[in-house]
A and B are shown apart, each in its own frame.
Chain A
Amino acid sequence: MADVIEAGAARTDAPPPAGRPYRAGGSGRFTPYLFLAPYLLIFGVFGLLPVVLGVWLSLHQWDFQLPNRPFVGLDNYAELFSADSVVYADWWQAVRATAIFTVASVPLLVTVPLGLALLLNRAFPGRTFFRAVYFAPYVLGVAVIGVLWRFLLDANLGLVNRVAGVFGLPADTPWLTGMPWAWISLVGVTVWWTCGFNAVIYLAGLQDISPELYEAATMDGAGTWDKFRNVTLPGLRPVLLFVVTTTVLASANMFGQSFLITQGAPGTETRTVVWYIVQEGLRDNDAGRAAAMSVVFALLLALVSVANFRLFRYRED
């Protein structure tokens, strides 16, 4: 949740209203710094310092257990790109898993919530209730939905195969251990879990579109589809950019679902980048290597975000 909400702030950073900040009477010139001090202390130690430290770490061979932590230059980075290194195969498998999940989940997480939002967009009795119900899974953490869906997707004891059986479908699908089922499970659960979140954001965007635009379109004889294409979609463009960007980031950062639901299975095929970084950093006691992976990962994500912005900017012209 933190990732998404944090990214959300970028969108809301609207230009400040007119009027300059003022210096009130009766206070010293250090007052503003005192106001900022508590936040800046935490921000400096846990927000800024780790950025610098991460880069520095990535240039060292850093074993928590050993006193000697030599400088190794760009070796940790080179390892990720040379086929004969110990980490090469696992690293790229994790990158591939993350890419598969992102490519498969983002289109659904962008379109399904839009459908929900359109369904909820007009006033009808029970609207607030249904909105709350659709949003409810998102309130639960990944740990709860992870252990819950591990159980629901259990091939023998799970509800999913039980319900499939009732409808005359195969009741023995290996949701957690077979391919492509494991990916279908992870994407499906993530859609179920977070689509209410994107739907709420879309709803706010839909309500910002002036009703007069729809009236004008009706006067011009536009049908439902025309109105959706020519009024709704253009009106949603800023919201769409926000949703696509935050959803790509959230999907690329996926960890808990595969850690708890498929537990990486089959084999380690569903182990994601974040999982692999954490595992390398802790279990194998090589923080330098894991830090290098973090840096590469952060750069990749930044690239994707920039591409996103450009894509939408371009369409606007």
Chain B
Amino acid sequence: MPMTSALRRTARYLVLVTLALIFVAPLAWMVVTSLKDYPDAQRIPPSWLPDPVSGYGYEQILNSSANPVLRWFLNSMLAATLHALLVLVTAAMAGYALARLRFRGRKVGFALIVATLFVPPTSLIIPNFLVVDSIGWIDTLAVVVVPGAASAFGVFFLRQFFLSLPRELEEAAVLDGANQWQTFVRVVLPLSKPALATLAVLSFLTNWNDFLWPIFVLFSPEQLTLPPGLGLLQGAYVTDYPVIMAGAVLASVPVLVLFVLAQRYVIQGVSRSGLKG
């Protein structure tokens, strides 16, 4: 029955494309609006395309001294990069110890880390404020880089991956006289590039997008990252939407580019979370 199967295929693509429009149209509207000037964006009903195409929104955010958006962008970039690196180093080392090394307290330590998975991070936000306050980290870069790295996810994720590696290669390295550290750095890590890339990308995304913690612990305009900055822009510009949308575009582009480039890692990380590495 070629007729019906062709019909079904057409129907399938019709549904797929309609859905795609629902997901993409709001993002397209964000870009369109960021290119309008103020009077154009105030039209009721709104115009479908910018008329004229204007750099107004971007000029506003790049030249505003009250809202140093470029500075927020750099802060976010720096924080997310450092955070991803910190997670990689700490989680890889701990994950390796838990996967391959034998030591006293291994089970207790593991159980403790598991237990914290059941504590919602939002419920720790108040006491964590006290902790970062007492070490003088409020309103600094460190406060958005370090505390989030206490997450157990990376450790689990890499532990599972290391367990899936063939043990023979590590044993061969030991026979060649390598110690545990050398085995880890020269044999295990090079074999783990896909898992490390996945964790790095996910950690970067999480940190880049984090909103609740930064609005809680960052105050000075020049210390903000982009998400709390966007909240500030919204408060300052209210219905001056080209400006707010320009800020939103700036916050979206890096993660969307990263997603396009590293799609495989993101999707694998989400769907398998270590089941198959």
**Which residues in A have some Cβ–Cβ distance to B below 8 Å?**
1-3, 5-14, 16-17, 19-27, 29, 31-33, 35-36, 38-40, 42-43, 45-51, 53-54, 57, 64, 116, 119, 124, 126, 128, 130-137, 139-144, 146-152, 154, 156-159, 161-162, 165, 171, 192, 196-197, 200-201, 203-204, 249, 252-253, 255-256, 259-260, 274, 277-278, 281-282, 287, 290-291, 294-295, 297-298, 301-302, 305
List A contacts of B205 (CB < 8 A).
Answer: 1, 139
Tell whether, in the assembled complex, residue A26 and residue B20 are in contact, meaning their CB atoms are under 8 Å apart. Answer: no
Within 8 A of A (CB), among B157-172: 157, 160, 163-164, 167, 170-171
- Interface status of B136 (Cβ within 8 A of chain A): no
Contact A277 B163 (CB under 8 A): no
B153 lies within 8 A of A141 (CB): no
Which residues of A lie under 8 Å from residue B146 when comparing CB positions? 42, 46
The residues in B between 118 and 160 inclusive whose CB is less than 8 angstroms from any CB of A are 118-131, 133, 146-153, 155-157, 160
Dominant secondary structure of chain A at its interface with chain B: helix
Known contacts A24-B183, A139-B266, A156-B44; is-contact A148 B30 (Cβ 8 Å):
yes
Q: Is the CB of A42 within 8 A of B29?
A: no
In the assembled complex, the CB of A202 is this many whole angstroms from the nearest CB of chain B, namely 9
Look across to chain B and name the residue whose beta carbon is closest to the beta carbon of A294.
B123
The chain B residue with its CB closest to the CB of A201 is B271
Chain B CB within 10 Å, residue with most, of A39, A154, A200: A39
The answer to whether A57 and B126 have CB atoms under 8 Å apart is yes
19 A-B residue pairings within 8 Å (CB atoms):
A8-B270, A14-B160, A20-B102, A22-B171, A23-B102, A42-B86, A42-B150, A46-B150, A128-B263, A130-B19, A132-B260, A137-B23, A147-B231, A158-B46, A197-B270, A200-B271, A281-B129, A282-B216, A301-B123
Knowing that A17-B163, A143-B251, A277-B125 are A-B contacts, what are 15 other residue pairs whose CB atoms are under 8 Å apart, sorted by A's residue number? Answer: A1-B205, A5-B206, A7-B117, A14-B160, A21-B99, A24-B101, A32-B101, A39-B90, A42-B149, A45-B131, A130-B19, A141-B211, A144-B248, A281-B126, A294-B123
Encoded as 1 (CB less than 8 Å from any A CB) or 0, chain B from 243 to 261 comes to 0110110011001101110
- B68-113 residues at the A interface, CB under 8 angstroms: 86, 89-91, 93-94, 96-103, 106, 109, 112-113
Known: A24-B179, A39-B90. A3 touches B120 (CB 8 A): yes
How far, in angstroms, from A151 to B128 measured CA to CA in the complex? 33
- A282 to chain B: which residues have CB within 8 Å? 129, 216
CA distance A3 to B202 in the complex (A): 12
**Taking A36-B97, A54-B123, A147-B247 as contacts, is the C-beta distance between A6 and B151 under 8 angstroms?**
yes
Residues of B within 8 A of A139 (CB): 205, 255-256, 258-259, 266
Would you call B151 and A50 a contact (CB within 8 A)? no
B93/A35 in contact, CB under 8 A: yes
Partner of B103, one of A19, A32, A162, A294: A32
Size bracket, chain B contacts: 35 or more
- Chain A residues with CB under 8 Å of B149's CB are 42, 46
**Is the pair B208, A291 in contact by a Cβ cutoff of 8 Å?**
no
Query: CB within 8 A of B128: which of A1, A31, A32, A46?
Result: A46
Residues of A within 8 A of B155 (CB): 39
In the complex, whether B191 has a CB less than 8 A from a CB of chain A is no
Q: Smallest distance from the beta carbon of B14 to chain A beta carbons, Å?
A: 12
B184-227 contacts to A (CB < 8 Å): 184, 202, 205-206, 208-212, 216, 226-227
Q: How far is the CA of A137 from the CA of B27 in the complex (A)?
A: 8
A134 touches B23 (CB 8 A): yes
Contact of A35 among B15, B22, B97, B147 (CB under 8 A): B97
Q: How far is the CB of A162 from chain B (nearest CB, A)?
A: 5
B131–A141 contact, CB under 8 A?
no
Query: In this complex, what residue of A is CB-closest to B76?
Result: A141
Known: A25-B174, A139-B255, A298-B123. A38 touches B228 (CB 8 A): no
**With A and B bound together, what is the CA distance between A54 and B127 in angstroms?**
5
B16 CB within 8 Å of chain A? yes
Q: Which residue of A lies closest to B133 (CB)?
A: A64
